[in-house]
Chain A
Amino acid sequence: MLNLLQDFIQTLIHTVRDVLPILSLIVFFQLVILKRPIPNSKKMILGGVYVILGLALFLLGLEKALFPIGEIMATQLSDPVFVSNNGANEVFWWSYYWIFIFAALIGFSTTIAEPSLIAVAMKANEVSAGTISQWGLRITVALGVAFALTLGTFRIITGTPLHLYILAGYVIVIIQTIFAPKKLIALAYDSGGVTTSTVTVPLVAALGLGLSSAVPGRSPAIDGFGLIAFASLFPIISVLAYAQIIEWQILYSKKRKK
């Protein structure tokens, strides 16, 4: 119990230290440049305290509960003994099917819990007067991350060059941008950046590192990178596709009415 308290205080100090630059920036601007007291300041300060406390608890909990298990799982699933199923001599890329399933599921589920994405979904819902549903956006982004991590682990296992995938992804985004409804493009671009933060990055990094050191012929230095890049590219594609499908649906139902 004492240990836990110590850990919590340490995490809290870390969080406060991370927040300090932003906090001093806001206070400086409010008092020196704008020269006015903060309106509703009591409530906002309380909100700030909630954010810091909440984030510290969230991070500590992740460190205690999720990260150790996630790391053990990534290592065990990519273990050559587990992959070759205790006997088969040859290992093909499809022998790693449990890794692909794990990557997809962990990508989806961690993205659903990602606080930054929740924040952006709340804003998008508010700004669009409810037409963009929070869960619709979050599930679309999570599907994008699930696909990204599956493809990313496939790339690590096969050792194919990262930049070819990324360049192909960019070409897809550019083509989609030409056809997608213009209203949702900004939100789609933003979805790429928000998926990879507190929950996803440590787990994904562990997966990439574990996998690239377990697969014969791969090195963590060269092949371990890239999963985060995938996870910030594919949500853009999935959100643009979602916007496109919704637009087609609206067009189709209009046609039927006529």
Chain B
Amino acid sequence: MTLLNVENLTVQFDTDEGRITAVDNVSFSLESGQVMGLVGESGSGKSVTAKALMQLNPRNAVYNGQSKISLTLLDDAPIDVLSLKTAKELKVVRGGAVSMIFQEPMASFAPAITIGKQMVEQLVLHKNLTKAQAKKLSVDMLDRVGISEADKRFDQYAFELSGGMRQRAMIAMALSTRPKLLIADEPTTALDVTIQAQVIDLMKDIVAEFGMGIIFITHDLGVIAQTADKIAVMYLGELVEQGSVRDVIRTPAHPYTQGLLNSLPKLEDLDKPLTPIPGDIPSPLERPSGCVFHTRCPQVSMGRCNVDIPPSVHVKDGHKASCFLIGDNGGPKL
């Protein structure tokens, strides 16, 4: 069942320097039980996209009229997230059916309230449980995510836990409301690699058990390869390529994806020299015309790539990329 359907999402910000386009015409969909990796570097707009799903963007965000985010929960009619206005309406989206976990676990937890209290508060708010029921559920959740001595931790403060444990607690808190959609914004970036491995395992188990849809935002392609089913690659606000993880990583169609994969140091091939993508990521204030990647593309064809915006081209089943150079049977023409 299609859980989430994003169509033509365009987000701009009104700033002192003018109107900045953060997300430009992004469309994707997510099924229940699927993990989608949203990959991009700085300025790619991945965080803004994720926040749009819960309408968490700051006040000066402007959503273009054609943007549509539809959330389908069970048998109810799809909810149009962008049309929700009041806090009451948004309650469903924020913390009810959709939960979010962040990069910096300390950011999620109020420092002066115990973890348990925060988890209970959330459950009482969204699920109408009594405090006792909420406590039991929370302790169960903490245990489920691998936190030892869960009932003791329940009464502790966030700063008393180590980084890895805090992140797990945050996952527990996010999952306790049984959301249908979980958005994870760089959850493992701040963790040590051995802890990251534990958290990745945890997330894989969770997907299997809870059957939620997860949007996993990161810049680390290795983590995506191990956890995601499909991947969407963003660059400067555009969705340049999306498809199944195997397809995109093994046969990337867009020059940016190719360049990105090439520039990663891989343990399998230590002799290969490191090849960066030439140039720098342009600032959002200076978005290139036409295809946003054309200023750094090794296969750019001036006159076309810098003038028109490339359409989304079908490469394979479920695999799309936005590039003029893609032939009918996938892969850029050389």
Whether chain B is bound by chain A comes out as: no
Measured CB to CB, the residues of B under 8 A from A are none
Measured CB to CB, the residues of A under 8 A from B are none
